[in-house]
Structure 1
Amino acid sequence: MKVKLLSSLIAVVLLLSTLSVKAQKTVVGVAASSPDHTTLVAAIKAAGLVEALEGKGPFTVFAPTNEAFNKLPEGTVANLLKPENKATLTKILTYHVVPGKLTAKDVIAAIKKGNGKAEVKTLEGEMLQVSLHNGKVMLTDAKGGTSMVTASDLMAGNGVVHVINTVLMPK
Structure 2
Amino acid sequence: MKNATIFTTFAASAMLATTAFAETNPMVGGAEMFPTKNIVENAVNSADHTTLVAAVQAAGLVETLSSEGPFTVFAPTNDAFAALPEGTVETLLKPENKETLTKILTCHVVGKKVMADALQGMIEDEGGMHPFTTVGGCEYTAKYADGMMMIEDGQGNTATVTIADVEQSNGVIHVIDTVLLPAS
TM-score of the alignment, normalized to the shorter chain, above 0.5: yes
Match 2:62 to one of 23, 29, 50: 50
1:129 is matched with which residue? Answer: 141
Which residue identity does 2:108 align to in structure 1?
H
1:142 and 1:49 mapped to 2: Cα distance? Answer: 22
What root-mean-square deviation, in Å, do the aligned CA atoms of Structure 1 and Structure 2 show?
Answer: 2.3
- Mapping 1:1-171, distance limit 5 Å: 22-171=34-183
Cα separation, 2, equivalents of 1:107 and 1:68: 22
Q: Deviations over 1:116-150 (max 9, x none)?
A: 00012100012110001201011000111110000
Instruction: List structure 1 segments (4+ residues) > 4 angstroms apart after TM superposition.
Output: none
Deviation at 1:90, TM superposition (A): 0.1
> 1: distance between equivalents of 2:141 and 2:42?
24
Query: For structure 1, which runs of at least 5 residues remain unmatched after alignment?
Result: none
Q: Which runs of 5+ in 2 are unaligned?
A: 19-33
8 Å CA contact 1:30, 1:154 repeated in 2? no
Count of residues paired in the alignment? 161
Indicate conservation of the 8 Å contact 1:27/1:158, yes or no: yes
Percent identical among aligned pairs is 50
- CA separation in 2, counterparts of 1:67 and 1:81? 17
Q: Residues 58 and 100 of structure 1 are in contact (CA less than 8 Å); yes or no, is this contact kept in structure 2?
A: yes
- Structure 1 residue 97: deviation in Å? 0.2
| TM-score, normalisation: structure 2 | 0.81
AA aligned to 1:87 is: E
Q: 1:31, 1:63 within 8 Å by CA — same for their partners in 2?
A: no
Q: Distance in 1 between matches of 2:36 and 2:68?
A: 11
Q: Following the alignment from structure 2 to structure 1, what is the Cα–Cα distance between the partners of residues 117 and 70?
A: 16
Instruction: Please report how far the alpha carbon of residue 31 of structure 1 lies from its aligned counterpart in structure 2 after TM superposition.
Output: 1.6
Superposition deviation, residue 29 in structure 1? 1.9
SS in 1 for 2:136: coil
